[in-house]
Amino acid sequence: MKLHLRERFSTHEGMHALIKKKGSINPTMVLGLILALVLTYLIAIPVVMLITESVRVHSIDVSYFQQEEGAFTLRYFQRALASRVSSVLFLSPLMNTLVIATCITLCTTIVGYILAWIITRTDIRLKRIFATLAVVPFMLPSWSYAAAWITLFKNRKQAGAPGILEVMGFTIPDYLAYGPLPIIICLTMHYFPLAFLMFGNAFQRIDSQMEESAQILGANKLQTAIHILLPVMKPAIMSTILLTFARTVGTFGTPYTLGRPVRFNTLSTSLYFTYQSGEPGVMAVIALAMLIIGALLVALDVYVLREYKRYVTMGGKGQMSRPFTLGPMQIPMNLLVGCFLFVVIVLPLSILALSTFMVTPGWFVKDNFTLQFWFAEETRVREAVPGLLRDPTLLSVAWTSIKVAGIGALICGTLGTLVGYAVVRLQQYRLSKYLRHLSFLPYLVPGIGFGAAYLVLFATGRGPIPALYGTLLLMILAMSVMYLPLTTRSSISSMAQMGAEPEEAAMILGAGWFTRMFKIVIPIQKRSLFSGILLAFIQGMKELSLVIMLAVPGLEVLTTLSIRYTDNALMQMSNGVILIIAFVTFLLTAVSQRLTKTSLAQGIGG
Amino acid sequence: MIDIKLEHIVKKYTSDVIAVDDLSLNFEPGSFVCLLGPSGCGKTTTLRMISGLERANDGVITIGGEIFDSPKQNIFVRPEHRKLGLVFQSYALWPHMTVQENVDFGLKLKKISKEQRSRIVDESLDLLRMGAYRKRYPAELSGGQQQRVALARMLAVQPGILLLDEPLSNLDAALRLEMRSELKSLHERLGSTIVFVTHDQLEAMSLATHVAVMKEGKLEQYADPMTIYLKPATEFVATFVGSPPMNMVGFSDLEGQRWKAPFKKAVAAFIRMDADDQRICKVGFRAEAVTLKRSDDPHPLKQNQTCIKGHIKAVLPTGPEQIVSIVVDDNQFYVVTPPSLCFENGQSVDMVVDLTMIHVFDQKGLRI
């Protein structure tokens, strides 16, 4: 009894002692083990499945291969890597992907770095507004820019309503209308906010006295920027590069919209096409390649983190952040940032909106303006489809979207909180490390590759788990796992911040594990949990790469519906759906900012 | 040995936030000057203006006979050309460089040859006893060690002036004492002019050859530490410097010159000292000016003594002595006594004040 009391009263060891106490079951450990099992099945197994699927004869190829279904084969690899079609199927898409991802990563890093520096480190005006606006492009569906681009630059090569500039009498060359150049520009516009956020936060943490020390010792502005600021930012730069690269490798909408007309394929579009044309073996090979890229990125991330651990930015009392004085450059700089944000936000959204009110976008005569794409019972333009707001399928699709993203986000938030709790509380065990790494894995894994893995894993029933292909449940499941890193990360940091003391205080007063969980931990974590769920919900609403693999006729979400309109050359309808998605995400963001009083760009604008 | 001259310096952050207001100071060559004051008094801003990290809005800063900052004449020498050293409160070591590289950086910028650089780095690190840690990264050092590296980094370039912005406030008490003595001996060895910013009056007293006490952007007093302590120029200096703070007795109502009852007799004595000076508004006396007696213990007052009656509120032993807090009406006084004296809470006592050790201030808080 004496020992027991001592255990309970030494605050620091109390929790450990409870875990180690012989003969009794520790609920946290049980939770950790259950989570480990669930996550292994949902994250690790799909990856393993892709490997087996790529070397196993599929039923569709039984007669062609003259082998039994399920037998070992390397013919899918051969087809992808060393055959007449390997260049079309795999090798050139791989090259294209790597080139595009490299260019986009470079561009977003530079744009994000400069913008973050201007907004966090100088005395530019309107900081807060700029910081809030700079995040907006990331709230739009990833291919919004591609859609706006094609609305503006489309030429005769593609069917459907002509592009605005073409109508106005310009001839647009293919290289400007489609292919790598517009893809790079559009995705840079979409992904730079990621870099902006990461750099903004990093800049915020850097003590400006570090730069001043260099200055005192005789370094000029340029020397300070190169020798001090840039190296200190290196960890943030590296993680931004890795994340952007992973996202661009896995993105589908933009290369699909802008690449297809000129047969410019990336791994993601090639994966989609092999899936559409019924080549599950080759699809598995391509998905595997994407996951290998993801795995390499994860490995690099781990290496980089370890490398930089030695000199993580040290916090300390007396840190200062004195803004860089722009002086006479202040007004030009304000104009420059304002123009940039206008080009990346107002311009594309206006183009999209304008196009939905015109029969032929860009032809500015009175008769050409129309409301039919939104309100007509039957549009008269190409196909007899109802206007968006009159379309009963749109309503049901929107409902599906909300269900998938909403339930997915709820599961994701709950799972993330539990994982965060287990990771922090079981810190001294290997299990904690395993959980942390596993739940972070989807962070750097290309989305469409993950979708393919889910397709493969749940195509048939396995053991007690039934086939889930074509069900809402599968989409929800994939969604909740894809965004798990978001909620886990925030949960781990807020759990660590909370510390063990509030729970230990409850323990001292005799509260059991479940009481502590529901009366102490969850109420304290409420805000971080809520904002995590909302963030996942917003991401889920605009997610395409993941769900494009899992959507089937009859089970569509808004994003896949928009792509289907694009397929049918119904540009205005497709743009309309994008605007609806954008409207919903903006609304949700506004609501969440109001409710949680936090925003993505929190603190960056000062 | 370089001198620093500040003449009528003004610094405004916005039109209504005045950080430094008409400050004039003269730092003699080789002196160790402390800028002392509560947070927000403009002492760090003053230091940053000397270093050139901040530009003055008005006035002239002259260092070593050369004008470095004068808005009126449109002269401003950038910090990288001022050849001085500055150690920050947060140390601001560069986390991506080892100790050695941190110290070497400034020398590299001076384009000094490699052999010479490595010799100077060794010397500076040895001077601060950090030679063994040259390969470490700052994150792998303790606070005190980081502090030494930050100092070594600035000393390596042999600045004529060393500016220190609260360099010891992040250290624990024991380390702080050690670094204080280290700084003092360093100053004696190097002979350079040191300007030291602190809000810790004890630190200022123990280190400086001169102390400049600041309040709300204005200079309150600039003198050597003992003068600051023994002859505080203002009421603010009197209460800010010294621990426990100086005891103050003031008019409750100036117009009628009525003193609250318990002080009546005492103040009458105070005032008699200064020949009925009408300007007198506040009277202060330090803890050591008081001898504490039990009220029931008969003790005839000597000449130049007066007595205030009060009750013991608490006794706070510090080891070599004890601080006794005494309540008189709703005023609180501190008295220091030897630990051998025993008092009980609530006990009534007489504070016997030595009238030769009182300080008198006028309505504006200026010493009379």
Q: What is the average per-residue pLDDT within A505-512?
A: 84
The pair phi, psi for residue B329, each rounded to 5°, is 55, -120
The model's pLDDT over A129-138, given as tens digits with 9 standing for 90+, comes to 999 899 899 8
The model's pLDDT over A156-165, given as tens digits with 9 standing for 90+, comes to 887 777 888 8
B228 inside domain: yes
Assess contact for B219 and B237: CB atoms under 8 A: no
Asked which of B185, B216, B240 is the last residue of a domain, the reply is B240
| Closest residue to A228, CB basis, from B90, B91, B94 | B94
Q: Match 């008969």 to its residue by tokens.
A: B298
> Pick from B190, B204, B199, B113: which is nearest to B154 by CA?
B190
B288 inside domain: yes
| Chain B CA closest to residue A223 | B109
Burial of A448 (0-12, 13-18, 19+ CB in 10 A): buried
* CATH classification at residue B86: 3.40.50.300
Cβ of A312 within 8 Å of Cβ of B95? The answer is: yes
Asked which of B223, B240, B257 is the last residue of a domain, the reply is B240
| B171 C-beta neighbours (distance < 10 Å), count | 18
Assess contact for B58 and B135: CB atoms under 8 A: no
B368 inside domain: no
Amino acid at A502: P
Q: How far is residue A455's CA from residue A512's CA, in Å, rounded to a whole number?
A: 41
Assess contact for B244 and B202: CB atoms under 8 A: no
Q: What is the average per-residue pLDDT within A291-305?
A: 87
| Closest residue to A209, CB basis, from B88, B169, B170 | B88
Q: Which residues of A touch B53 (CB under 8 A)?
A: 212, 215-216, 322
Residues B79 and B174 in one domain: yes
Supply A295's token pair: 């795995």
Q: CB-based contacts of B293: which residues, under 8 Å, 6+ apart?
A: B299, B349, B350, B352
Q: What is the average per-residue pLDDT within A25-40?
A: 90
Question: What mean pLDDT is reported for chain A?
Answer: 85
- For chain B, the domain total comes to 2
B43 inside domain: yes
Report the relative pairing of strands B290-294 and B322-328 from DSSP bridges: unpaired
Q: What percent of chain A has pLDDT over 90?
A: 36
Q: Give CA separation, B86 vs A163, B4, B11, B164, B329, in Å.
A: 61, 15, 20, 6, 49
Residues B232 and B113 in one domain: yes
Q: How far is residue B154's CA from residue B158's CA, in Å, rounded to a whole number?
A: 7
Query: Which range, A354-368, B225-239, B330-344, has the best average confidence (pLDDT)?
Result: B225-239
ipTM of the complex, rounded to two decimals: 0.80
The pair phi, psi for residue A471, each rounded to 5°, is -110, 155
Q: Which residues of A touch B86 (CB under 8 A)?
A: 212-213, 216
Q: For position A232, what pLDDT does the model report?
A: 87
Selected for mutation to probe chain B from A123, A215, A217, A311 (highest B CB count within 10 Å) is A217
Q: For position A90, what pLDDT does the model report?
A: 93
Cβ of B109 within 8 Å of Cβ of A217? The answer is: yes
Residues B306 and B337 in one domain: yes
B187 inside domain: yes
The model's pLDDT over A570-594, given as tens digits with 9 standing for 90+, comes to 888 899 999 999 998 888 888 877 7
Assess contact for A288 and A47: CB atoms under 8 A: no
The model's pLDDT over A439-498, given as tens digits with 9 standing for 90+, comes to 888 887 888 888 888 888 888 877 778 888 888 999 999 999 999 988 898 888 888 888
Shortest Cα distance, chain A CAs vs residue B80, angstroms: 4
The model's pLDDT over A115-148, given as tens digits with 9 standing for 90+, comes to 999 998 888 888 889 998 998 998 899 999 999 9
Burial of B16 (0-12, 13-18, 19+ CB in 10 A): exposed
Residues B157 and B30 in one domain: yes
Beta strands across the sheet bearing B85-87: B85-87, B161-165, B193-198, B32-36, B210-215, B218-223
Supply A227's token pair: 């020798």
Cβ of B169 within 8 Å of Cβ of A317? The answer is: yes
Q: How far is residue A130's CA from residue A337's CA, in Å, rounded to a whole number?
A: 8
Cβ of A218 within 8 Å of Cβ of B81? The answer is: yes
Q: For position A18, what pLDDT does the model report?
A: 46
Under the banding of pLDDT at 50, 70 and 90, the label for residue B228 is very high
Q: Which has more confidence, A90 or A1?
A: A90
Residues B229 and B326 in one domain: no
Selected for mutation to probe chain B from A213, A224, A229 (highest B CB count within 10 Å) is A213
Under the banding of pLDDT at 50, 70 and 90, the label for residue A319 is low
Determine the distance from the C-alpha atom of residue A477 to the mean position of all C-alpha atoms in its chain, rounded to a whole number.
16
By residue range, what is the domain housing residue B294? 247-361
pTM to 2 decimal places? 0.82
Residues B303 and B211 in one domain: no
DSSP class of residue A580?
H
**DSSP result, A425-494:** HTTTSHHHHHHHHHHHHHHHS-HHHHHHHHHHHHSS-BTTBPP-TTSHHHHHHHHHHHTHHHHHHHHHHH
Shortest Cα distance, chain B CAs vs residue A114, angstroms: 21
Residues B145 and B291 in one domain: no
The model's pLDDT over A519-564, given as tens digits with 9 standing for 90+, comes to 888 888 887 888 888 888 888 998 898 899 888 888 899 999 999 8
Supply B251's token pair: 């008019």
> Pick from B199, B91, B99: which is nearest to B144 by CA?
B91
Cβ of B53 within 8 Å of Cβ of A232? The answer is: no
Cβ of A318 within 8 Å of Cβ of B96? The answer is: no
Q: What is the average per-residue pLDDT within B114-135?
A: 92
B176 inside domain: yes
B367 inside domain: no
Cβ of B94 within 8 Å of Cβ of A231? The answer is: yes
Alpha-carbon Rg for chain B, nearest whole angstrom, is 25
Residues B291 and B187 in one domain: no
Q: CB-based contacts of B366: which residues, under 8 Å, 6+ apart?
A: B233, B234, B235
Q: Give CA separation, A203 vs A62, A120, A198, A233, B15, in Å.
A: 58, 7, 9, 8, 28
| Chain B CA closest to residue A212 | B53
* CATH classification at residue B350: 2.40.50.140
A587 strand-pairing partners: none
Residues B93 and B194 in one domain: yes
B268 inside domain: yes
Under the banding of pLDDT at 50, 70 and 90, the label for residue A201 is confident
Asked which of B211, B240, B269 is the last residue of a domain, the reply is B240
Selected for mutation to probe chain B from A125, A208, A209, A216 (highest B CB count within 10 Å) is A216
Residues B133 and B254 in one domain: no
Q: Would you say residue B208 has pLDDT above 90?
A: yes
| Chain B CA closest to residue A315 | B90
Supply A345's token pair: 């936000």
Residues B122 and B175 in one domain: yes
Residues B333 and B201 in one domain: no
A555 strand-pairing partners: A552
